[in-house]
Amino acid sequence: MKRNKQWNVSKALALASLYHFLHSAAAACVVPFLTIYFRQLGLTAQFVGIIMGAKCFIFMLCTPFWSYYAGRHNKRRILILGSLLLSVGAGLLFTLIPPIDKEIGYKFCNKSLYIKNSWKQNARPEDKHYIGDVKMNKFAHTILPTVVNAALTSHPRSTLQAEIKENLQVLTTVETAIANRISSLKQSQNTGLSNITHSYVSTPSEDIGSTQTTDDYLQSKWNQLLQIKDSGHVGTMGETANHFPVKEDNKKKNRTSDVYSSSVNSHIMKGDAVLKVGSEDRLEKQRISTKYDHSFKILDNQHQTLVLLLLAVSLWEILASALEWIADDGLYDYLDFVDSVDRYGKQWIWGYLGTAGAALSIGIVVDRLDCFINAYTSRIAVHFYGYAALITLTLLVGVFYPIHTARKNDMINHTVKGLHLLGGDGRAMLYVITVFIMGAIRSTINNFLFWQMQDNGSGEAFMGVALAIGFIAEVLLYLFKDRMLKIFSFSGSVTFGLICLAAQVLYYSFLWSSWAVLPIQILNAFSNGALWWAVWGQANDLATPGIERTLHKIYHILSFGLGASVGSFCSGFIVSSFGIERLYQACSATAMVWLVVFLIAQSKIPRQKRLNYSRLLAADTSDMSDSDDAQDWLVTALKGDFVQK
Confidence of residue 49 (pLDDT cuts 50, 70, 90): very high
Asked which of 55-59, 61-65, 261-265, 611-615 is least confident by mean pLDDT, the reply is 261-265
In the chain, where are the structural domains located? 8-118+295-406, 138-274, 410-615
- Whether the per-residue pLDDT at 125 is higher than 90: the answer is no
Find the farthest-apart pair of alpha carbons in the chain and give their distance in angstroms, rounded.
118
pLDDT confidence of residue 233: 46
Give the integer Cα–Cα distance in Å for 22 and 16: 10
8-118+295-406: CATH topology is Growth Hormone; Chain: A; (1.20.1250)
Secondary structure element (H or E) that encloses residue 287, with its range: helix 279-293
pLDDT at residue 134, as a whole number: 36
The whole-number pLDDT of residue 371 equals: 80
Cβ partners under 8 Å of residue 88, min gap 6: 387, 388, 391, 392, 395
- Say if residues 325 and 63 touch (Cβ distance below 8 Å): yes
Q: Is the pLDDT of residue 136 over 50?
A: no
Q: Is 410-615 a domain of CATH 1.20.1250.20?
A: yes
Asked if domains 8-118+295-406 and 410-615 share a fold, the reply is yes
Range 611-628 average pLDDT = 49
pLDDT-derived band at 642, boundaries 50, 70, 90: very low
DSSP string, 335-400: HHHTT-GGGTT-HHHHHHHHHHHHHHHHHHHHHTS-SBSSSS-BTTHHHHHHHHHHHHHHHHHHTT
Report which of residues 385 and 457 the model is more confident about: 385
Nearest to 403 by CA among 68, 82, 77: 77
Residues 606-627, mean pLDDT to the nearest whole number: 53
The SS3 assignment for 644 reads strand
* pLDDT score for 275: 39
pLDDT digits (tens, 9 = 90+) for 161-213: 555 545 444 444 444 555 555 555 555 554 444 444 444 444 444 444 444 45
| Predicted pLDDT at 41 | 87
Average pLDDT rounded to a whole number, residues 523-536: 93
Query: Quick check: 264 and 221 in contact, CB under 8 A?
Result: yes
Average pLDDT value for residue range 464-477? 94
Is the pLDDT at 517 greater than 90? The verdict is yes
The mean of the pLDDT values for the chain is 74
CB 370 within 8 A of CB 5: no
Q: Which pLDDT tens digit goes with each residue over 357-372?
A: 999 999 999 988 888 7
For residue 312, the tally of other CB atoms under 10 A from its CB is 17
Q: How many Å apart are CA 464 and CA 446, to the nearest integer?
A: 13
| CA 504 – CA 502 distance, rounded (Å) | 5
Is the whole-model pTM more than 0.95? no
Residue 533 has pLDDT above 60, yes or no: yes
Neighbours of 364 (CB within 10 A): 15
Decide if 496 contacts 484 (C-beta within 8 A). Answer: no
Burial of 109 (0-12, 13-18, 19+ CB in 10 A): buried
How many separate helices (H) and strands (E) can be counted in the chain?
A: 31, 4
Q: Residue 116: its pLDDT value, please?
A: 43
